[in-house]
Amino acid sequence: MWKEKTGRRDRNSSPSRALSRNMAVVKSAHIAHALIRPAGGIFERCSIFSSGDAVKGWKFPPVDCLTGLHQGCFVFKPDSKKAKASSAADYFSKGNTDSEDSELRFDTCQLLWKQIKCETEQLQEDLNKKLFDNLITFLRQSHSDFQKKKTKWACRMKSSEIPTAAVVLGVNVMDHDLTFKSLSEVLHDDVTPFVVSLRSKECPGIKQLLQKLMIQLMGCHVDVDSCEEEYSKPSSNRIRCSVASLIDWYRNITKETDTESQCRKRVFSSRHLESPPVVVIFKDLESFTTKVLQDFIFISSHCIQEFPLVLIFGIATSPMIIHKLLPHTVSSSLCIELFQSLSCKEHLTKVIDKLLLTSQFPFKLSEKVLQVLINIFLYHDFSVQNFIKGFQLSLLEHCYSHPLSVLCCELQEARKRTETLSHSQCENIRRLPSFRRFVENQVSNKQTVLLTDDECLKETTQELLQDLHTYHENYFPILCCLHAFTSSLPKYPLGKQIRELYCTCLEKKVWETEEYESAIQLVRMMAKDELVVILEKCVEIITSSPSEHLKIPSEKLKQYLDQFRNLEAEANGGQEEPISSLQELQKKTDLYHLQKTLLEMKESRKLKKLTKFEMLRFEVVDFVDGLVRNYLAPAEMQTLHEVMYFSAANTLREHLNAAPRVALHTALNNPYFYLKNESLKTDAGCISNAAPDICIAYKLHLECGRLINLVDWLEAFATVVVAAENPNSSVKDQIDDAIHARFIRAVSELELLGFIKPSKQKTDHVARLTWGSC
């Protein structure tokens, strides 16, 4: 209890009021004593149990003793200074050696990625549209009779058959989740609210499969606040996992009584079918156990008339996997229809067309970087989503590491930013290799101005950025035209896919390669019909281009196309001479006369006059060859290409295609490589006591043989850890419980990583499992 040092007295001195007030005071005082601890002042400790009235064994002081006592508790919340949460922009600028305009570069990166992400999502939606439309049509037709409430709705199929859609998505398993997520959303919006997605790892048995099925189904329509108790979400522990429960639930949820209730409005929309089917998606069919699939299909086939079920199998390999997993007695209960999605290679081609082979996005990849991403795609996972993530990482790394990436934006915005460049940014431009080559080709007076005058440099930079933008506008249409000519040639000398041709053009001058010469020779022998089709495609490509420089080539190609169409077939004259020559060959059989006749035939062919078609074909090929030489110069030859093109292929390879063993050895042997802490810098062969414990233990174990004595290892560990602090202390004094525990943890981590293992030969030794530096 606390008593206030005041001379005031209580106005109410009646015993009953005093007793009730005293009880409240006792309770309040105990609370105050537990929560606050005043340090002197106007309060002092006193006892209230010394005198006063007795109530149920309690003694209370007189009323005068409690005069002026404050009946309350006052809790003061301390001022807490919350740490400011770091934003993504802070992480972007942190640790960057060139932090100038880091925020602007981060905003540029975010804006570009937002545009790229929207483009890829729209592309994904467009590519999946045909597949999803076919699936929706299949689902609507599967239970059409059941939805019309016909008594014999199985007139189209057997009463025990389950409609099944086998969707072959390909081996790019990492992209399947995104596809099935989009499919579930489309089905939920347009067909049925009852869509269930199952994975093999969640369904090791039939009981777990039914449990997952019931939880997802009964949770798809529940709204406890608005629905009646009948439709409230039940707990999975109280549900009996059985098909009978599913049938009862479906019968209750689709009954026609109270069709205008609020709950039914939440369950069904106007786009849903009257009796919507229950769609169960098996995302990874190959990974499900045979028994689980057999039991579920066998049980469901006996109640298909009461519980309209549709199965969707996600297949990565081949539709034959269904018959390998299921015996004929089970597969005969399925009414299977096959659906094929777009192959991952075709999907990648579409993505490259949208992201790289366009002047819409200023950010580009160099040949080596693009080759790294394509190799990871072809030789590792076939995942288009991982390719897009690699593209995003390239964009992020380019904006983070290159100070001039602030100019990697739309042309008009780049012009505005060029006007506000600082002197250090102008010096960065002058240090670019491509700009150095540009300056060397200028006259001496112009060179001096470009290297000393920032305003002149800014004006020149704007012109060069305009030239780079024009280069991209001309480059990609001509690239597509060249691909149209060479993609159907025998043996594909320049590649079958446009990405192969694009990498070749980025790497070097394509017209100087042997493959290009071979392709041109084959194009010169093309038939008229093939040339007409290719020219029509080229005219369409160039006409759709926004470049003003390609209007003249477009008109020229249209003229060639009209000439081909108006070209009449010529009479096959001059055939008698070859026939006579053949007759001469048949008469003379000796080697001398045979050789002489062949030489004469060769000379006659050289002197033979070309037809109009052949002359026109040669003219078209020469014209296309001129376009290639004018517009398909490598990007490295363009001034300021470093602003737009990301070329750090090694950095990207380290992030996306790293060698775990080498990275692990580097992290343990040289932690400064990753942590960038100055205290971790050491000479070769030295061990820093500031390094993490596992690094110290790892470097010590490299000095040992096949068996490592734990006692010696511990002593060496303790020596490294505390020798710098107590150089005069003995080893036994150094080893305390904390160091012992740290050593045990470090050794356990090395064992978990696979560097050591317990030895059966000696109990106090461990065996080393790795040798060499990696």
Q: Tell me, what's the pLDDT at 442? A: 93
Residues 6+ apart with CB under 8 A from 431: none
Q: Is 183 helix (H, G, I), strand (E, B) or coil?
A: helix
Q: How many CA atoms lie within 13 A of 176 on its CB side?
A: 22
Beta pairing partners, 58 = 55
Distance between CA atoms of residues 195 and 146, nearest Å = 18
Distance between CA atoms of residues 464 and 82, nearest Å = 49
Give the tokens for residue 659.
Answer: 């060698």
Give the tokens for residue 450.
Answer: 């470009």
Beta pairing partners, 470 = none
DSSP assignment of 595-646 equals: HHHHHHHHHHHHHSPPPHHHHHHHHHHHHHHHHHHHH---GGGSTTHHHHEE
Q: Is 282 helix (H, G, I), strand (E, B) or coil?
A: strand
Q: What does the pLDDT look like over 49-84, one tens digit per residue?
A: 334 444 444 444 454 544 444 455 656 666 656 556
Query: Looking at 377-437, which runs of residues are DSSP E strands?
Result: none
**Are 459 and 421 within 8 A, CB to CB?**
no
What's the Rg (C-alpha) of the chain?
41
Q: Tell me, what's the pLDDT at 231? A: 38
* AA identity, residue 532: V
The DSSP element (H or E) to which 165 belongs, if any, is strand 162-168
Name residue, tokens 């519980």. 307
The angle at the Cα of 447, spanning 442 to 448, to the nearest 5 degrees, equals 160
CA torsion angle for 508, 509, 510, 512 (degrees, to 10)?
Answer: -120
For 441, 676, 731, 736, 750, the CA distances from 721, given in Å and listed in that order, are: 61, 20, 11, 12, 18
Give the tokens for residue 474.
Answer: 């001309």
Residues 6+ apart with CB under 8 A from 342: 127, 131
Pairing of strands 707-709, 645-646: unpaired
3-class secondary structure per residue, 737-759: HHHHHHHHHHHHHHHHHCCEEEC
Distance of CA 632 to the CA centre of its chain: 31
Q: Tell me, what's the pLDDT at 614? A: 87
Distance between CA atoms of residues 728 and 581, nearest Å = 108
Give the tokens for residue 6.
Answer: 């005041």
Count of Cβ atoms closer than 10 Å to residue 146 Cβ: 18
CATH of domain 143-342: 3.40.50.300
Q: What's the pTM value of the predicted model, to 2 decimals?
A: 0.77
CA torsion angle for 158, 162, 163, 167 (degrees, to 10)?
Answer: -140
Distance between CA atoms of residues 281 and 194, nearest Å = 11
**Are 100 and 422 within 8 A, CB to CB?**
yes
Regions of the chain where pLDDT drops below 50: 1-61, 63, 65-70, 149-151, 153-154, 156-157, 220-237, 257-266, 569, 571-582, 585, 588, 774
Distance between CA atoms of residues 193 and 253, nearest Å = 11
Q: Tell me, what's the pLDDT at 271? A: 61
For 163, 243, 306, 375, the CA distances from 157, given in Å and listed in that order, are: 9, 22, 15, 47
Q: How many CA atoms lie within 13 A of 327 on its CB side?
A: 6
Give the tokens for residue 422.
Answer: 């600082």
Distance between CA atoms of residues 214 and 446, nearest Å = 78
Residues 6+ apart with CB under 8 A from 370: 356, 499, 502, 503, 506
Count of Cβ atoms closer than 10 Å to residue 760 Cβ: 8
Tell me the backbone φ, ψ of residue 242, rounded to 5 degrees: -155, 160
The DSSP element (H or E) to which 693 belongs, if any, is helix 693-701
- Structural domain spans, the chain: 2-66, 102-126+343-429, 143-342, 438-569+577-639, 660-768
For 373, 510, 546, 654, the CA distances from 369, given in Å and listed in that order, are: 7, 19, 28, 12
Find out if CATH 2.60.40 is the number for domain 660-768: no
DSSP code of residue 86? P
Distance between CA atoms of residues 64 and 576, nearest Å = 145
The DSSP element (H or E) to which 444 belongs, if any, is helix 444-452
Count of Cβ atoms closer than 10 Å to residue 740 Cβ: 13
Distance between CA atoms of residues 159 and 305, nearest Å = 7
* Terminal C-alpha separation, the chain: 72
Sign of CA dihedral 380, 383, 385, 388: positive
* AA identity, residue 325: L
Residues 6+ apart with CB under 8 A from 377: 348, 383, 384, 386, 387
Residues 6+ apart with CB under 8 A from 679: 688, 690
Count of Cβ atoms closer than 10 Å to residue 655 Cβ: 12
Count of Cβ atoms closer than 10 Å to residue 226 Cβ: 12
Distance between CA atoms of residues 716 and 701, nearest Å = 10
Name residue, tokens 């109410």. 12
Count of Cβ atoms closer than 10 Å to residue 246 Cβ: 22
736 burial class (0-12, 13-18, 19+ CB within 10 angstroms)? exposed
3-class secondary structure per residue, 548-605: CCCHHHHHHHHHHHHHHHHCCCCCCCCCHHHHHHHHHHHHCCCHHHHHHHHHHHHHHH
DSSP code of residue 83? P
Distance between CA atoms of residues 738 and 745, nearest Å = 11
